[in-house]
Amino acid sequence: MCGIIGYVGERAVIPVLLEGLRRLEYRGYDSAGVAFFDEGKISVIRALGKLFNLQELLAGYGKNPRGIGLGHTRWATHGEPAEHNAHPHGDCRQELVVVHNGIIENYHTLRGMLEQKGHKFRSQTDTEVIPHLIEEELEAGFDLPEAVRRALSKVEGAYAIGVFWAKAPHMLIAARYQSPLVLGIGEGENFMASDIPAILPWTKNVIFLDDGEMAILTKDSCQILSLRDGRKIAKEISRIHWDAAMAEKAGFKHFMLKEIYEQPQAILNTFRGRLDPETGEVNIPEICLSPEEVLSLKKICILACGTSYHAGLVGKYLFERWVRLPVEVELGSEFRYRDLLIDKNTLVIPISQSGETADTLASLRRAREVGAKAVAICNVLGSTITRESDGTIYTHAGPEIGVASTKAFTSQLTALLLLVLYFGQMRKSLSEQERRRIARSLLRVPYQVEKLIEKVHPEIKDLAYDYQRKEHFLYLGRNILFPIALEGALKLKEISYIHAEGYAAGEMKHGPIALIDENMPVMALAPANHHVYEKMISNIEEVRSRRGEILALGTEGDETLARVATRTVSLPECEWEVSPILYTIPLQLLAYEVAVVRGCDVDQPRNLAKSVTVE
Ligand code: M6R
């Protein structure tokens, strides 16, 4: 969940590290720090709080060192957010520095062992055992790469690390096990980072390190070795097609708002080239399943966390209706510790924006152990989940920086719909006529979303003032919009800190209705053409008759809804299959605008991090 960046080359190193950290700050922002080699020794500068504090400190540094450096932005796991717990961490003599993303599970044992040998620790972090372990190996006479390799063989847990040593200041070591790490290959310079956007200003050529691999980077070379036995490994260089500007705010006040507005393009990018506009046929060979394998499927199991889990819940409704296969949607954090009832005829679909979420990844690994096939839905090229699946539908939404997931979600819904159409056409569970109808409605979505944002954003901005002081919010939906109620509630709570719950509207009478009074705002999702519309109207009446305040999203011109709800926001008529995409948009905007008027930090909400790579 932390972000790490490393550089070796001839540039002034502080601006590179700060720019890289700025692009990684979404991963954690409790503290930040850098280390670089200057005038024959290592300097470490760290600051509590956001990156801005570190920038201020570095502005007063007064020198412009070149060559080698490491940077870190932290999401605390072991040890409170404090300057002394911020990375980089060093050995006893501060001749060696390490940045780390992950968790060292056996650090208590290692620390005890090292303290007995006389090592002095300065922090409460798990990370600090790593430089001390390396120091031991250096003292035993090993060179830096071998010392790092041997030290890591003693470590249990997850790590992506960067290391450099004052006695070999031309060499940067990177290593990974179960935490993401990408190498950037430049000309006369090389980089390492937790995520691609951090290195995009300087290079688009990357190597994705796999678990159990380490790299020795100098300014002119990059050598990959196995952590197990030190053997050399040949790796391909991949070219990234994102450009650096895509990870900028482009005039928007927040990344979240920019990403909401990017949704028409993100959705289009997800289906473009895959959906034939004439026939509605879908072509996604990248899922790497043969027709026989698709026909032999007995069950689908979707694995995901957070917002991606909500996309999975929508997928359940779609698959069950049009593919006629039973679907289970599982939270990664639960599935990984459950008794599994899946086998080789089960298709697992891990859904993840980042492709690095630890719980989703662990669940995927368990499913693979029992022989299940896996097709990932993911946004980040080369991420671990994609590499451990048989095939991947990339969403092509572009980098998502805001911690609150927006365009990743609606493009996941699009990818799921493509998969449903594809399986439906192959398994003949979907008629050609239905396929054409669904395809036509999906093709209209980018335009509808664009117009919808234009229309509802000003309306929602006004509403946000009225709701800013509420302490609770209920979101109600039925059927395929029930997951969208969950997603709307998640968006509101994560960025505005208002307590919000999503409920299946029919469940209200089993308990939550007791919460309704004139202080409880209720968001109801009620499109007029859904088969549960009448039921939804009854549920709204039940809330109104208990003096609850209903804000309803419904179809343009629906007078019944306008009569029963306190306020309505209208959406264009759309087919059931694409309604989750459209009904998500006003909920994202509401969460955003409420958070803005409450003065919350929209892109970096408290206690959260974008990519959750720890359990
Ligand atoms: O990268 P992933 O899609 O696997 O991330 C899963 C969740 O951590 C993520 O969706 C989280 O819930 C977001 N903050 C929601 O906005």
Q: Are residues 270 and 228 in the same domain?
A: no
pLDDT per position as a tens digit, 560-599: 999 999 999 999 999 999 999 999 999 999 999 999 999 9
Q: Residues 219, 316, 373, 610: which is the catalytic one?
A: 610
CA distance 581 to 578: 6
Q: Are residues 369 and 485 in the same domain?
A: yes
Minimal CA–CA distance to 417: which of 355, 502, 361, 480?
480
Contact (CB, 8 A) for 423 and 321:
no
Q: Are residues 276 and 239 in the same domain?
A: no
Q: Are residues 166 and 294 in the same domain?
A: no
- Going through 181-281 in order, the beta strands assigned E by DSSP cover 182-185, 190-193, 205-208, 213-217, 222-226, 232-233, 238-239
Ligand 1 within 6 A of CB of 306: yes
φ/ψ (deg, to 5) at 83: -60, -40
Minimal CA–CA distance to 602: which of 491, 470, 466, 499?
491
The residue out of 180, 213, 243 marking a domain boundary is 243
CA of 17 to the centre of ligand 1 (A): 26
| Probe target for ligand 1 pocket from 330, 335, 336, 353, with the most ligand atoms within 8 Å of CB | 353
With residues binned 3-state (H G I as helix, E B as strand, rest as coil), the percentages for the chain, rounded to 5, are: 40, 25, 35
Residue 608 maps to a domain: no
**Mean pLDDT in consecutive groups of 10 residues from the start of the chain, 615 residues:** 93 96 85 95 94 92 93 83 90 95 91 95 94 97 98 94 97 94 97 93 95 97 97 94 75 94 95 93 94 96 98 98 96 89 94 94 95 95 91 92 95 98 96 96 97 97 93 96 98 96 93 87 97 96 91 97 96 97 98 97 84 72
Residue 376 structural domain: 258-597
Cα angle for residues 604, 25, 305 (degrees, 5° grid): 65
Active site residue 493: no
The alpha carbon of residue 376 and the mean position of all alpha carbons in its chain are separated, in whole angstroms, by: 14
Contact (CB, 8 A) for 584 and 310:
no
pLDDT of residue 514: 87
Ligand 1 within 6 A of CB of 404: yes
Residue 248 maps to a domain: no
Q: Residues 2, 222, 305, 378: which is the catalytic one?
A: 2
Amino acid code (one letter) for 116? Q
Confidence (pTM): 0.81
Q: Are residues 237 and 301 in the same domain?
A: no
Q: Are residues 274 and 238 in the same domain?
A: no
Contact (CB, 8 A) for 568 and 525:
no
Ligand 1 within 6 A of CB of 456: no
Give the CATH number, domain containing residue 292.
3.40.50.10490
Ligand 1 within 6 A of CB of 308: yes
User: What residue's CA is closest to ligand 1, atom 14?
Assistant: 404
Helix (H/G/I), strand (E/B), else coil: 161:
strand
Helix axes 306-322, 482-496, angle to 10 degrees: 170
pLDDT per position as a tens digit, 147-198: 999 999 999 988 999 999 999 999 999 999 988 899 999 999 999 999 898 9
Ligand 1 within 6 A of CB of 403: yes
Q: Are residues 384 and 501 in the same domain?
A: yes
Helix (H/G/I), strand (E/B), else coil: 243:
coil
Cα torsion angle, 149, 154, 159, 161, sign = negative
CA of 613 to the centre of ligand 1 (A): 11
CA of 63 to the centre of ligand 1 (A): 40
CA distance 317 to 326: 10
Strands 89-90, 96-104: pairing kind: antiparallel
pLDDT of residue 486: 98
pLDDT per position as a tens digit, 52-107: 999 999 998 888 999 999 999 987 777 788 888 999 999 999 999 999 998 898 99
CA of 33 to the centre of ligand 1 (A): 26
Active site residue 610: yes
Q: Are residues 334 and 239 in the same domain?
A: no
User: What residue's CA is closest to ligand 1, atom 12?
Assistant: 306
Q: Are residues 165 and 41 in the same domain?
A: yes
Cα angle for residues 18, 48, 175 (degrees, 5° grid): 55
pLDDT per position as a tens digit, 11-20: 999 999 999 9
Token couple for 197? 């956007």
Ligand 1 within 6 A of CB of 613: no
Instruction: Please report, in angstroms and rounded to a whole number, the separation of the first and last CA atoms in the chain.
Output: 10
Residue 612 maps to a domain: no
| Probe target for ligand 1 pocket from 305, 309, 364, 613, with the most ligand atoms within 8 Å of CB | 305
CA of 403 to the centre of ligand 1 (A): 8
CA of 332 to the centre of ligand 1 (A): 11
